[in-house]
Amino acid sequence: MARARTRKKATEKTARPQDISRTPTRSVPEGWEPRITGPDELDAALKRLPTSPGVYIMRSRKGEVVYVGKARSLRVRVRQYFNGTDTRMFVPLLAKLVGDIETVVVSSNKEAMLLENNLIKEHRPRFNVKLRDDSNYLVLRLDPKGDWPRLELRREIKHDGAYYFGPYHSARTARSTLRVVNRHFKLRTCTDFTLRSRKRPCLQYQIDRCPAPCVYEVSKDDYDEQVKDVSLFLAGRHNELIVGLRGRMESAAEALEFETAARMRDQLRALESATEGQRIVGTASLDQDTVGMYREGGSVEFVLMHIRQGKVLGSQAFSNRGLEHPDPEVMANFLSAYYDSAPFVPDEVVLPFALAEDDADPLEAWLRDKKGKKVSLVVPERGDRRKLIALANKNASSNFSTRRNKRDDHDAALTRLHKRLQLSKLPRVIECYDVSHIQGSDTVASMVVFVDGVPDKSRYRSFKIRGLMGDGEGKRQGAFQNDDFASMYEVLGRRFKRAMRKREGAEDEDDAWALPDLIVIDGGKGQLRQVVTVMQDMGVPTGTEGVDVVSLAKERKDTISMTKDGLERLRASKKSNNASPGAAYRDWTVDEDGKRAFRVRPERVFVPDVKDAIALRAGSSELYLMERVRDEAHRFAITHHRKRRSKRAVRSVLDDIKGVGPSLKRALVQHFGSIAAIREATVEELSAVRGVGASLAERIRAEVQQ
C-alpha cells in the first residue's frame, strides 16, 4: 500500500504543466543592429518584402520580438501598418518602435499559421494574444486503449490517443464531475500499479461501483460499453447516451435479466437528474464553441462558451492588454493560440464577425486536421447562433467590467498602502524575499514581484545560497548555511549588484532587474536592519530617488505562566485605567486553565527610522495585499527548496552505484515509484527492470541498504 501511494505521488508530479506565462524569450541575435531607424529605412524595408505567403517578425530597435503575424502576401499585409490609411493610435507607435522586419516564406497559408504559432510560443511577443488564464485548468483523461481504462485528473494534454474532457476552471468542479462518473459508471478508480499488485477486491467493489477486474474475471465487452458511456456523458452527448441506455435496459428486461435492467434504470434516472439543470440555448445537434469578444482600446476580453448538442457545458474567459491590431486579426490570433492546446475541437466555431480570408481558410484547414473531419467557422446573422453570439458578447462585457473593477481595487489598495506606511512613492512594483532550508541544508531564497498588485511570474527569481562554502563566483552551493541573516544579505547583495549594473547602463542586464518601488521582507526589526545595511553597502538609493523598504512581522501569540498573585494583579489591571501593580499585563488575557496568560500581537509593519511598528487594520485591503506578497514569496521558496532536496535525495543513493547510469536510474524510479520502494525490493524484483542483470541487482540492493 505504501508503494502505491508513492507511485501515485510520483505520477502526479510528472503531470504538472509548463507555465505558459513564463518569462519571454529575449532572442536578440548577437551583434544585432537595427536596420530601420527612420522613415527612409522603413520605406526601403517595405519595398524589399516578398509577395509570397509567410510569417513576418517585427523587432523593436532593441532587437526584441514585439509582434509575429502571418499573411497570404507579406508585402501587402505589412504595408497596411505604415501606408498612412490606418488611423489607429498604435500605428505611429509601431513606426517609431520597429527596428527591423524579418520574413519567413512558406509554401501555403496553413504552414504559415503553424509557423506563426511556434514563433509566438517561443518569443511571447508584446502585442500578440497570450492565454495567461489557461495554465492551471484541470482536464479529465480517459484512455480507451489502456488495460481496463479509468478516468483520471490531469493538468496537461498530450497527443497520446486518449480522450481529454474539459478544461475545468476549478478543482472542485473537476472532482465533482469525477464523483458523478464514479457513482454511476462502473470504472475502476485505482492506479495501474495498484491494479497489477492487488490480491483482493477493494471497497469500491463492495459498494458495487467497480467490477474488480484486478482479481475477478470481467467481461471486456461490458466494461468497454461503460467506457463508451463515460465518453458520451463527458462529451455532452447526453441524448445519445440516454437513448442507448434505454435500449439496453429494454433488451435486458426482455432477456429476463432483471438485475441488469434495474441497474440501467437507476443509471438512467441519475443521468436525467444530473442533466436536467443544464441550460438549453439552441436546437443544433452539433458540438459548438461560441466566441464572444469585448474591447476597449488595447484591452480585450474573450469568452468561449462550450455548447454540446444545444446545452451549455461551461465557459472560459481570457483577458489581454496591448492588443492594438484590428479585431479580425486579434480574433484569429486568439483562436490559433487556444486550439493549439485545446482538449477538444468542436464541429463549429461560432464567431461574432468574419476573419480575414487569408486567416479563415488556413485556420479551418488546420482545425480539420486536428479533429479528423470538417470544422466550420460560422458568422451568423440571425437565428439561434446569433443569440449565442449575443450571450457570449454579454458575458465578455460583464467579465471585462469585473476585471476592470479588480484593477481599480488593486490601485486603491496600493494608494492606501502608500498613505498608511508613508512611502515615498506609490508602490507599483513590489518585491518580496524569503529564505527556505531545513537545518541549514539546501538553503535557497526566493524573489517574487507584484506589478500593480498582481503577481508577475515572469520576473520571479530563485537563488541557491552559496553560503559558507561558496563565497566565490562559480563555486558550488554551501553544504550548510543556517544563518538566515547571512543568507538574506547574500541574496540582496547579488540582486542589488544586478540592479546597479542596470542603472549604470549595462546592456546585458534584463529590465526585470531594475530597482522596484518597494521591498518587503518577512520578519521584524532585525531583518529590516539587514536589508538597510545591504542597501547602504551596495550604494542603493532609498526614498524618492530609490527604493522604499519595510518588513512584515507575522501575527504572534505570547504565553506566560503566572503565579496566583500575578493573575490577580492582571485581573485588577483590567478593571482600572490608572497605573497599578500589574499594569504591564493589561494587554494580556487569562487562559481558560487559569494558570497562564496570553496576548496576541497582530501582524505589523516595521519602517526604517520609525520606532514603533505600524499595525495594519485587520481585513483591510492593504494588509491583504501585504500578506499575499509575503505568502507568495514563502510558497515560491518552499517549492524551490523541496525540488532541490528531492533531487539531492535521489542522487545520494543511486548515482554512486557502478553500472547505474541516468537512464537506468530513471527506469528504476519509474518502476518502483520511490527510493524507499527500491530499498525494499528483492533481487528478483530488481532484476525484473529492463537493463538490470542478476549481478547488478545484487550490487544495487547491497548499496541502497547501507
What is the arithmetic mean of pLDDT over 104-113? 82
pLDDT band of residue 702 (cuts 50, 70, 90) is confident
Strand (E) or helix (H) holding 412:
helix 383-420
453 with 520, same domain: the answer is yes
Does 698 map to a domain?
yes
Alpha-carbon gap, residue 438 to 646, rounded angstroms: 13
User: What is the CATH classification number for the domain harbouring 475?
Assistant: 3.30.420.340
452 with 584, same domain: the answer is no
Separation in Å, CA 406 to CA 322, 401, 517, 617: 18, 9, 21, 21
Instruction: Count CB-CB contacts under 10 A for residue 16.
Output: 10
Alpha-carbon gap, residue 136 to 128, rounded angstroms: 21
Spatial strand order in the sheet of 348-350: 311-320, 299-308, 287-296, 348-350, 376-378
Does 85 map to a domain?
yes
Does 297 map to a domain?
yes
- Checking if the pLDDT of 309 tops 80, the result is no
398 with 481, same domain: the answer is no
User: What is the CATH classification number for the domain harbouring 117?
Assistant: 3.40.1440.10
What is the arithmetic mean of pLDDT over 682-705? 87
Give the residue among 503, 522, 545 at the shortest CA–CA distance from 448. 522
Residue at a domain's end among 350, 385, 402? 402
Does 349 map to a domain?
yes
pLDDT of residue 371: 87
77 with 96, same domain: the answer is yes
pLDDT of residue 5: 37
Separation in Å, CA 604 to CA 134, 450, 622: 36, 20, 12
The verdict on pTM exceeding 0.75 is: no
- Checking if the pLDDT of 583 tops 50, the result is no
Which amino acid belongs to residue 111?
Answer: E
269 vs 222 pLDDT, higher one: 222
Residue at a domain's end among 100, 129, 158? 129
- 195-229: buried (b, 16+ CB within 10 Å) or exposed (e) per residue? beebeeebebbeeebbbbbbeeebeeeebebbbeb
pLDDT of residue 139: 76
Alpha-carbon gap, residue 700 to 706, rounded angstroms: 10
- 138-155: buried (b, 16+ CB within 10 Å) or exposed (e) per residue? bbbbbbeeeebbbbbbbe
* Domain, as residue range, for 694: 655-704
pLDDT of residue 292: 93
Residue at a domain's end among 203, 236, 269? 236
Residues 6+ apart with CB under 8 A from 319: 132, 133, 299, 300, 301, 302, 399, 400, 403
What is the arithmetic mean of pLDDT over 523-542? 86
Does 214 map to a domain?
yes
Does 258 map to a domain?
no
- Checking if the pLDDT of 518 tops 90, the result is yes
437 with 545, same domain: the answer is yes
459 with 378, same domain: the answer is no
- Checking if the pLDDT of 34 tops 80, the result is yes
| Residues forming beta bridges with residue 605, ordered by sequence position | 552, 614
pLDDT digits (tens, 9 = 90+) for 127-155: 787 765 444 567 788 888 888 888 888 87
523 with 624, same domain: the answer is yes
44 with 142, same domain: the answer is no
Backbone φ and ψ for 166, nearest 5 degrees, come out as: 130, -150
434 with 505, same domain: the answer is yes
Does 18 map to a domain?
no
Alpha-carbon gap, residue 444 to 438, rounded angstroms: 10
172 with 116, same domain: the answer is no
What is the arithmetic mean of pLDDT over 514-518? 89
Q: What is the total count of domains within the chain?
A: 6
Give the residue among 383, 204, 233, 221 at the shortest CA–CA distance from 308. 233
350 vs 567 pLDDT, higher one: 350
476 with 610, same domain: the answer is yes
586 vs 700 pLDDT, higher one: 700
User: What is the CATH classification number for the domain harbouring 306?
Assistant: 3.30.420.10
293 with 381, same domain: the answer is yes
